[in-house]
A = this chain, B = another copy of it.
């Protein structure tokens, strides 16, 4: 991680993320939109693992476009429709994050902008 982690013992009981992240002054920032598992071609994967894979591929592409990586992530928010999708989602997220430990928020929601979207991922990153 390029940012300072402030762990107080809560996040580690729940998942592989940090309780809080401190960002130094003087950095540039990247704010992504809520990003669904929708392919550039307009196709939608058939299951939650596919949605997660596509959404995270987009997040990484946006980071790269700004010359950043997952290690520059400050905060990631995850919006899912169904509680039963959590285990499959978390597995994909872990693969993309590697040892990066951004702050995190996960929310179940009755619906996203299109009813067929199973999830959206939203990220904030910062880098010198």
Contacts and interface: CB of A to CB of B under 8 A. Distances in A.
B20 A31 contact: yes
A86 B107 contact: no
A1 to B, nearest CB: 13
Given A10-B58, A79-B107, A108-B112, A17 B31 contact: no
Determine how many copies of this chain the complex contains: 3
Interface in A21-66: 21-36, 38, 40, 42, 58, 61-62, 65-66
A20 to B, nearest CB: 4
A38 B62 contact: no
A16 to B, nearest CB: 12
Interface string A86-123: 10000000000000000111111111111100001010
Given A31-B124, A38-B13, A66 B110 contact: no
Interface residues of A, number: 60
A31 B74 contact: yes
Nearest to A107: B109
A83 B57 CA distance: 27
B22 A30 contact: yes
Given A108-B109, A113-B86, A30 B35 contact: no
